[in-house]
Amino acid sequence: MSDLTGHVFTANANSEFVWDRQLIERYDLSGPRYTSYPTAPQFSNQFGLLELHNAFAASNRACTPLSLYFHIPFCSRVCYFCACNKIVTANRKRSGPYLQRLFREMEMKAELLDNFRPVKQLHWGGGTPTFLSDDEMRQLMAKTREHFHLLDNDEGEYSIELHPGDMNVETIRCLREIGFNRLSMGVQDFDPVVQSAVNRFNSLEQVTELIDAAREQGFASISMDLIYGLPHQNWQSFSETLDRIIELSPDRLSVFNYAHLPHLFKVQRQINEAALPAAEEKLRMMEQSALKLLDAGYRFIGMDHFAKPEDELSVAQQQGELQRNFQGYSTHSGCDMVALGVSAISEIGSTLSQNHKNIDDYYGAIDNGLLPLSQGTELNQDDRIRGRVISQLICQFELDFQEVEQAFSIDFQRYFADELYQLRAMETDGLLRISNHGIRIHPAGRLLIRRICMVFDAYVGGERQVRFSKII
């Protein structure tokens, strides 16, 4: 057992990291998760339809492959920890009107795009996408095939998020039939006391049945999400959940820190704060979870993600092709992301744009024949440079100065003189090494990569600050 002072946990040469309690206490601040740069708080309603249309035109000229994201906001039951944009309802008929607007948005955006461009990635998120009936999911995928060039024979990475307590085996077969080849299950915790405290229920038996069915149907990758820091959790109980998960052997795992922000997410007010584990216990859960997963043969991809060595995430990282977007770590770089549905965020060329967050505003725009654009931003040269730096560090744990210099015609050490000076303290603490050629993140810095990236974030400390989750 560890004493939380400073140990190296090694699964292989590429995934070792150091757990150093003193460094964690020093650097474990709140910060962005960097699913984009700039991050969403920097979006503005000054970014309008003209800018969005220009972005689509530029995207066609670049002729890059596409990534499609569909946001399905409905959930039949509210999970008290949730920070997603969702609509909680037991009325399954509400999905019909939403799909009709989603189809219309798809038609409008497809009209602006060259439809021969291949869709290398497709993802349905939520909410709970399987709130839709099997027939509705068939309709949505068929409509997508009408307007976009979906790849057959599992050439693309087509994934969907599942709530395993809210679906059946027949739906697994349906998902495979319509083209999905990857599943992501939000398990969170098997402990019934914890499940009751957060109002999310899925048994080990339910999850096992779905995984067996997914493997029988030939899904290429199964991912699971766990959350530590929920009410009534402790390391002993969470360890039992993790043991069951390891026995189920998912290809990927995300072990998230629960961020209790009831002033931002009203549903979290249902959680009894007195039942939340102390900071010391949360650290223990993360430390011991990482050790257990590394011992089980998983690689530490970054932040809270783990994957088997043969999984595409691991392979992409080894080949320098890993990227990060609004769905987390991803294997396909160089795609323009077209996002559809309420609150969905697109990344087209050098722009980021978000749909209306409110369902009535979203419906109103669609019904008036308008793209449901709420806000966005057009990246300037400095944004693009900093975004490249942050992406390389958070995905590869290293940065080549020359690669950035050639891409943007800058002298890296002169351009980032202030940032490199700030990093010297982290170098002294053993988080990283700075050479004349680049930056390499040491094992002690991998858990704290968000904090390292914040040094290059020009908006940290600016006017549009929000409260982010803690790093660990």
Delineate the domains of the chain, giving CATH numbers in brackets.
7-33+381-454 (1.10.10.920), 40-338 (3.80.30.20)
- Taking residues 359-377, report their average pLDDT: 98
Q: Is the confidence at residue 98, as pLDDT, over 60?
A: yes
Q: How confident is residue 89, by pLDDT bands cut at 50, 70 and 90?
A: very high
Q: What is the pLDDT of residue 325?
A: 82
**Contact yes or no for 103/338 (Cβ under 8 A):** no
Residue entry with tokens 């010391």:
280
Q: Is the confidence at residue 14, as pLDDT, over 60?
A: no
Beta strands, E only, 206-320: 221-228, 252-257, 299-302, 305-307
Name the nearest CA neighbour of 81 among 232, 257, 237, 271.
Answer: 271
Eight-class DSSP state of 469: P
What is the DSSP track for 299-364?
Answer: EEEETTEEE-TTSHHHHHHHTT--EEETTEEES--SPEEEEESTT-EEEETTEEEEE-SSHHHHHH
- Taking residues 194-206, report their average pLDDT: 96
Q: How confident is residue 8, by pLDDT bands cut at 50, 70 and 90?
A: very low
Whole-angstrom distance between the N-terminal and C-terminal Cα of the chain? 20
User: Which ranges constitute the DSSP H helices of 368-400?
Assistant: 381-396
Q: Is the confidence at residue 463, as pLDDT, over 60?
A: no
Q: Is the confidence at residue 152, as pLDDT, over 70?
A: yes
User: Which ranges constitute the DSSP H helices of 46-168?
Assistant: 49-62, 95-111, 134-147
Q: What is the pLDDT of residue 139?
A: 98
Predicted confidence (pLDDT) per residue in 442-462, tens digit: 999 998 999 999 999 999 865
The chain-wide mean pLDDT, for the chain, equals: 91
pTM: predicted TM-score of the whole model, two decimal places = 0.92
Tokens (6 digits) for 310: 């043969």
